[in-house]
Amino acid sequence: MAFQSNVVNSQPVVVTQYTVSSGLSDWSTDVCDCCDDCGICLCGTFIPCILGCKVAQDSGECCCLPFLPGVSIALRTSIRSKYNISGSVCDDWVIMVCLPACGLCQMAREQKMRG
């Protein structure tokens, strides 16, 4: 009689491959694409305080937040973080200091498109 052995000499190997991705995206519109949404553009041009309140509220913040000094930069940074948009606080500062109305309109368009 022949003796047959069913001994396992090795374990099965499972190979798992992970792809690391930053997951960062860009703004849906450029900072100077104000004409992409004429309603937001007109509001940002003629009554930016109202648009600022809406952007703050849509971010879950107090409506009065945009009236505090420097908060527009923090609000922009918060929106970038929420939607995983690439950039830096320095970029946010430059946009909100040099092009405040355009930056506000860009934030409003982003919230409208992603919301």
Question: What are 25's two structure tokens?
Answer: 């995206």
State the Cα angle at 33 between 28 and 35, rounded to 5°. 120
Q: How many CA atoms lie within 13 A of 87 on its CB side?
A: 24
- pLDDT bin (cut points 50, 70, 90) of residue 52 is very high
Q: What is the pLDDT of residues 5-46, one digit of tens each?
A: 666 666 666 655 544 456 889 999 999 998 899 999 999 999
| Domain positions in the chain | 34-114
Question: What are 72's two structure tokens?
Answer: 């527009």
Yes or no: say if 75 and 15 are a contact pair by the CB < 8 Å rule: no
Give how far Cα 48 sits from Cα of 53, 82, 92, Å: 8, 22, 18
